Amino acid sequence: MAKTARIEVRDRNPVASLQDFLRQLLEQTAISGVMVAERLPVNDAVMPALVTDPDLLDGADPLAPVFPINASKVLSKLTRKPVGEKIAAVMRPCEIRAFIELVKLKQGSLDDVTLIGVDCFGAYGNVDYRRFAGLSAPQPTLRFYENLTNGSGTALDDFDISPACKACEHPVAENADLLVGLMGIDFNSAILVQAGTEKGEEILDLLGLPAFDDTAGRQKAVSDLIARRIAYRDSMFERTSAATADLQRLMSYLGNCVNCYNCRVACPVCYCKECVFVTDVFDHEPSQYLRWAKQKGMVKLPTDTVFFHITRLAHMSTACIGCGQCSNACPNEVPVMELFRTIAHGTQQAFDYQAGRSVDDEPPLSTFREKEFSEVTGGKD
Distance CA 358, CA 110 (A): 12
- Write down the pLDDT at residue 43: 72
| Cβ 376 vs Cβ 351: under 8 Å | no
The arithmetic mean of pLDDT across residues 127-145, rounded, is 88
Distance CA 177, CA 66 (A): 23
**pTM to 2 decimal places:** 0.92
Q: What sections of the chain are H helices per DSSP? A: 14-28, 72-79, 93-104, 126-135, 140-149, 163-166, 198-207, 218-243, 247-253, 262-266, 286-296, 305-316, 325-329, 336-350, 374-377
3-class state of residue 150 by DSSP: coil
- Write down the pLDDT at residue 259: 94
The arithmetic mean of pLDDT across residues 93-112, rounded, is 96
Evaluate if residue 218 carries a pLDDT over 60: yes
Give pLDDT tens digits for 277-295.
Answer: 888 888 899 999 999 999 9
| Cβ 318 vs Cβ 355: under 8 Å | yes
- Write down the pLDDT at residue 52: 97
pLDDT-based confidence at residue 352 (cuts at 50, 70, 90): very high
